[in-house]
A and B are shown apart, each in its own frame.
Chain A
Amino acid sequence: MPEGKLDLLKGTLELLVLQILSSMGPTHGYGIARRLEQISGDELVMNEGTIYAALVRLQHRRLIKTAWGTSENNRRAKYYSLTRAGEKALAAEAATWERLASVIGRVLATAEGQRR
């Protein structure tokens, strides 16, 4: 898929959310969406609402905790932050992801070599 936007792989959204929470500290859903948009540079296609489903799943796994706070426009908003377990999970999953990516990268590189 050289042109167009990328679909998110299953399970990767959770990893991205964890990373964003880790780097930004307590954030609400809107903030996460903005940050995601900003980093990915508009390359990801997704409905912002799906972030909330990912947040629920992370909550069930006790990787994040929530607290009510006030948003920029003075509304009540739920702020999410990492738990200790969340930090550990982030480290582990990021490592897994990097290994996987590098393996896939290597395999694709050999395939390129053969094609030539």
Chain B
Amino acid sequence: MIRALREAWSRLAAIVRRRRWDQDFDEELSTHLALLTERNQRRGLTEAEARRRAILQVGGLSPIKELHRDARGFPRAEQLLQACTHAWKSWRSARGVGLVASAALAVGIGSATAIYSVVNVVMLKPLPYPDGDRFVALFAADLDDPKRHSPLRSQDAERFRDRNRAFDAFGWFRGAEKNLMVAGHPYHVGGVAVTISLVQSLGVSPAVGQWFQDNSGVVISTSLWHRLGGSSAIIGQTVTLDEVTYTVTGVMPDSFRLPVGGMTSTRIPTDVWIPLDPRERAGTAYFAYGRRRPEVPFAAAEADVRRVAAEIAAEDAGRRRGYAARVIPLRETVSRQIRPTLALLLGAAGLLFLITCASAAGLLLARSVARAPETALRVALGAGTWRLIAHYLAETLLVSLVGAVGGVLLSVTLTPAIMSMAADYVPRADEISVDGSVLLFALAAACLASVLSSVTPLWQASRIRPADVLGDGVRSSAGARSRQASQSLVVVEIALAFALLTMSAVLIFHVRNLARTSPGFEPDHVLSFVVSLPGAIANDPGTRVPLTHRLIEAVEAIPGVEEVGFANPLPMKGCCWSTSIHPDRAPVETNAAARASLMVASAGYFRTMRIPLRRGQFFTEDDGVRTPEAIPVVVSETAAKDYWGDLDPVGAYGRFDSATGTRFQVVGVVGDVKNDGLDNPTVPEIYRPALYSRVETMRFVVRSARPEASLIADVRRQVRSVDPTQPIHDVAAMQTVIQNTMTLEHTVLLLTTLFACAALLMAMLGVYGVVSYSVRLRTVEIGMRMALGATGGGVFAMIVGNGLRTAAYGVVTGGAAAFAAVFYLAQVFELAYVGPAPFISTTAIVAALTFAASFLPAWRATLMSPLVAIRNRP
């Protein structure tokens, strides 16, 4: 090793001190020659002959000098360097083509790099804990339904903690959003209640202070710390969260994540971490994290968890049959949901990248044809294949490196734009940046692009024979050969662009269908906001019911407000509760396990949302605070049909959950609402009155003709007039709420459409290039045709037909790619049916654009005078 280094060093020194070595060798060689000449003379040769012989014996002066030079330096590297300087010089004389090729590659490299920078953070970057790869998340699972997994119950989490043998750290947490008073203003903050043992063993310490040791401590985020004033005196201060007082023990650094996002994420970013009360036994669900012992492989941890789950199932055989648990590497839980989407986007960016390579190759091919005489000369002078390859690679590498710089800049501007749209869907979105790995990716992409785009020009150049330098037709013969090649490149471009365009067309149709789907209510002029009640109030109807009445009255009092109501959950937000319905004397055979979604609603909710009443009546406010023998409920049309068939359900009785569950009486039937999001099928729905239900989260809806923005301040003031400690949060127009359910679709749609447009542009420039080049090559032929009586229309049709044929090849070739892409897309977005419409419209777009691209060259051809055309040799 050291010897090799020393040798390399002395070779390098020889290159640097090249002149000195040359001089020394000249002197040595001349001594040698003189001695040889003298010897030859002594053998009786004339002086001139003796010297000639001497030179022959040595092996010729310049070959020997060349040999000497190669032996002392790095011949390959020097050739490469030479190729690079040559490439630099040759691009300086053709700046235009070089810049266009660089710009094309910048688009390709830039889009791929932008997507990669997201992939890098979501899927590749280590988790922000020491030994992050040993962390797993633990979920409850169901033996009968292998796809399902859910958070744990606290009793089970305790049993996993006590009985596992695989983990050296284990703990669990749940989301705990809190109301917090800061300087007299109430705020709603995201929070997590977490077991003390978990935070103590994460290996991440607060930036200021330390983790809490007992139930009275709280650790806050850096951003909350700044909102609280940002002084280091914060440690030891008390804060009040939902009327419970905690002492601040630490401030977490900005980079800290708990939860890490993805499958175990909470709804909003975490600002407070509080200790989880170990006595807490509510039905809430907990996410559990464990860290494998270093010597325990993942499979062993999995087996260990399965063993404990089997024990739990056996201990409670009656009710927990089929209970199982699943461990998933924590890093995978971050990326699992978004991975198919990212793969899709990376694939789309890859397609665009290939198109830009093809389009750069087309440009370089044209340039290589133009330089065919020069190349022929080089070949004739003895440039070998290696030298040609080095030369072409150096040229394209230079272009693609410039492209990579442009690409990185493009990605730096593109990524924040994407992220501002889809930040809610991308875990760890705020960590996305251009780091070493991203730069390396761009560099690798540039190298790949340089190889890909130099293949065709090289193929063209390698066909040039040394003898070509003699004929004057080298340019035209090279041109004729390369026409086929550049046409193939354009076919490839169209094929890939077709695939991309089809993807974006499928998404456009999908999003349009969604937008046309009626949500079942009228979202215009409705503002929604949330009031979260502390648990103590929510559990006590005596406090809660008067408070909700006062809140509704206060909001109703705002001028311009027409209707006010609240519900939980709100439509489109996804459903959290489900129940089963058991009508008395079951009029219709139903599957006992069938689920209906359950919502809590206030009396005014239906009127505010304009959910149509089909039969019976809505809830009434003055039902009074009492526990009736049957709770009045409202059901949706689908529920009425599913459970009562053709009978009128109004007045009918039934029970929730089981044949012995809470009794209810149906008072009304309302229209179906897409409570689970626009792209999910309609499910049966049953509404419970807020009066008789525990309500913690009140999702208010306010109908008013006033602009939503102007309403917010009034709402906030009115709510505070009822309870000064009560913040409102998640304020959004109902229209926005609906839009937000389609954010991911919109983002992917935007990106694929962007990619497809760039791809189409390049493909069409390619078509234009090929068609106008073929017109130039066929000038004589076209002139002849016109001289022999071909009409302008005929010539026009011939040339445009030529372009369209190229496009047809492309569409046919791209068809397979398009089908594959659409198949995958349909899986990612769970599209049940993709009609032929996207394919047809995409084909039409490609055809129309091809027509447009070949129009100009064809038009010019028809204007040619036959005589000029014939006289004007190509």
Q: Which residues of A contact B (CB under 8 A)?
A: 28-30, 33, 47-50, 52-54, 56-57, 59-62, 71-73, 75-78
Contacts and interface: CB of A to CB of B under 8 A. Distances in A.
B57 interface: yes
A48 B28 contact: no
A12 to B, nearest CB: 16
B480 to A, nearest CB: 44
Given A56-B71, A60-B7, A60-B10, A49 B38 contact: no
A72 B34 CA distance: 11
Given A56-B71, A73-B35, 10 more contacts: A28-B31, A30-B31, A30-B35, A48-B58, A49-B60, A53-B67, A60-B72, A73-B38, A76-B27, A78-B24
B67 A75 contact: no
B31 A52 contact: no
Contacts of B29: 49, 52
Contacts of A53: 67-68, 70-71
B871 interface: no
Nearest to A78: B28
27 contacts: A28-B28, A30-B31, A30-B32, A30-B35, A30-B36, A47-B59, A47-B60, A48-B58, A49-B29, A49-B58, A49-B63, A49-B64, A50-B64, A52-B28, A52-B29, A52-B71, A54-B71, A56-B72, A60-B11, A62-B10, A71-B31, A72-B35, A73-B34, A75-B35, A77-B28, A78-B24, A78-B28
A10 to B, nearest CB: 13
Interface in B37-53: 38
Nearest to B72: A56
Contact of A47 (B6, B38, B58): B58
A75 B36 CA distance: 13
Contacts of A73: 31, 34-35, 38
A47 to B, nearest CB: 3
A47 B57 contact: yes
Interface residues of A, dominant DSSP: mixed
Given A30-B36, A48-B57, A75 B31 contact: yes
A89 to B, nearest CB: 11
Given A47-B64, A49-B58, A56-B71, A62 B6 contact: yes
Contacts of A47: 57-60, 63-64
A75 B28 CA distance: 9
B823 interface: no
Nearest to A59: B10
A76 B25 CA distance: 11
Contacts of B30: 75
A59 to B, nearest CB: 8
Nearest to B6: A62
A53 B71 CA distance: 6
B227 interface: no
A84 to B, nearest CB: 14
B873 interface: no
Contacts of A50: 59, 64, 67
B32 A48 contact: yes
Interface string B65-78: 00110111000000
Nearest to A85: B3
Contact of A61 (B3, B34, B58): B3
B285 to A, nearest CB: 71
A113 to B, nearest CB: 41
Interface string B2-17: 0100110011001000
A13 B238 CA distance: 87
Contact of B32 (A33, A56, A57): A33
Contacts of B60: 47, 49
A62 B9 CA distance: 12
A68 B63 CA distance: 24
Given A47-B59, A61-B3, A77 B31 contact: yes
Interface string B469-513: 000000000000000000000000000000000000000000000
A112 to B, nearest CB: 36
B34 A57 contact: no
The 5 closest A-B pairs by CB, nearest first: A47-B59, A49-B64, A53-B71, A49-B59, A56-B71
Nearest to A31: B35
Contact of B68 (A30, A56, A60, A76): A56
Nearest to B65: A49
Given A60-B10, A78-B24, A49 B34 contact: no
Contacts of A72: 35
A27 to B, nearest CB: 12
